[in-house]
Amino acid sequence: MRYRTIGTDPKTRREVSVLSLGAMLFGTATDEATSFAILDRYVEAGGTFVDTSNNYAFWFTGSRGGESERVIGRWRRSRGVGDEIVVATKLGASPLAEGTGYVDNAEGLSADAIRRAAELSRERLGTDRLDLLYAHIEDPRVPLEETVEGFAALVADGTVGLLGVSNHWTWKVERARRIAATAGLPGYEVLQYHHTYLRERGDLPGQLSEDGHQGLVGGDMLSYLRTEPGLAMVAYSPLLKGGYVREDRPLGAAHDHAGTPARLAVLREVAKETGATANQVVLSWLIGGGVPMIPLVGASSVAQLEESLAAVDLELSPEQRVRLDGTW
């Protein structure tokens, strides 16, 4: 396994594995015994960065979520896991009522909602301190100042370490970070967005905004990351839910453009040259890119996890990277 540091403050920064394990379906689609086996194998391989959310996975059970956090909490207690494993969670997108969704009925990012949700996450995870806490989705109803101050208050009282943000427009991330810096408060240091090798169309309305998918890494976000090297990017859904390797998982309208066949062709060429799978090439490309990413991979079996773990040791040549990057 390889590692990198997230965060800049010596008091809160952490060293994490360059491959993060997503636990979204643990306790729902993935039963507890299988979840424990996946977590055990990940840690055995040197993995130290587990990701969840307080709303995972409400859509399977009609609940408000929390199933994934509870499984991780039980695993931590049964294995005696402590600070050596960084567990990241998110808040803001849990439905306010069971049997509903979060698009028009989310808990939001008010100061009260942040404190209440963080407390419940700590209880479910069985910890006094959340290693990394993300703002999961935007809350246009609440002033950014209140959200920034709400997260900072948790850091001040020692119940949260690092702060992160997901699925926000780049300008809003920058504005929130500027508010925090001006006030001398801790701000977002870890970002979690969707990124993969194939380029996604940006002209389609997103689930949360008619302007597009605000959780997608685009040119503006890449430019921002180049100028802010202290920020860390965690790339979710890098393997497109099997879309690179499974014929029964079509890519869909977001990838229906002229660039997709060309990039798929060079991806498969490089996979053949390296003896790796297309999935492994994608993960290696993300880890070692000019803007390095931490891929966040899910797994419903230990075998699936093994494929992703092997990507950490895959080294793409400079010439292969030029070909991958230069194909549009």
In tens, the pLDDT along 7-54 reads 999 989 999 999 999 999 999 999 999 999 999 999 999 999 999 999
HEC letters along 75-127: HHHHHCCCCCCEEEEEECCCECCCCCCCCCCECCCCHHHHHHHHHHHHHHHCC
H or E segment and range at residue 6: strand 3-6
Confidence of residue 269 (pLDDT cuts 50, 70, 90): very high
At residue 214, the pLDDT reads: 86
Query: What percentage of the chain has pLDDT greater than the value 70?
Result: 100
Tens digits of residue pLDDT in 115-163:
999 999 999 999 999 999 999 999 999 999 999 999 999 999 999 999 9
In this predicted structure, the answer to whether residue 202 has a pLDDT above a threshold of 80 is no
At residue 327, the pLDDT reads: 83
- How do the domains of the chain map onto residue ranges? 3-256+277-317
Q: What number of CA atoms fall less than 13 Å from residue 253's CA on the CB side? A: 5
Q: What is the DSSP letter of 301?
A: S
What is the CATH number that goes with domain 3-256+277-317?
Answer: 3.20.20.100
- 240 contacts 229 by C-beta, under 8 angstroms: no
Query: What percentage of the chain has pLDDT greater than the value 90?
Result: 88
Tens digits of residue pLDDT in 250-260:
898 889 999 99
At residue 184, the pLDDT reads: 98
Tens digits of residue pLDDT in 214-248:
899 999 999 999 999 999 999 999 999 999 998 88
Supply the angle between the helices 144-156 and 111-125 in degrees, to the nearest 10.
40
Closest CA to 225 of 181, 280, 279, 188: 188
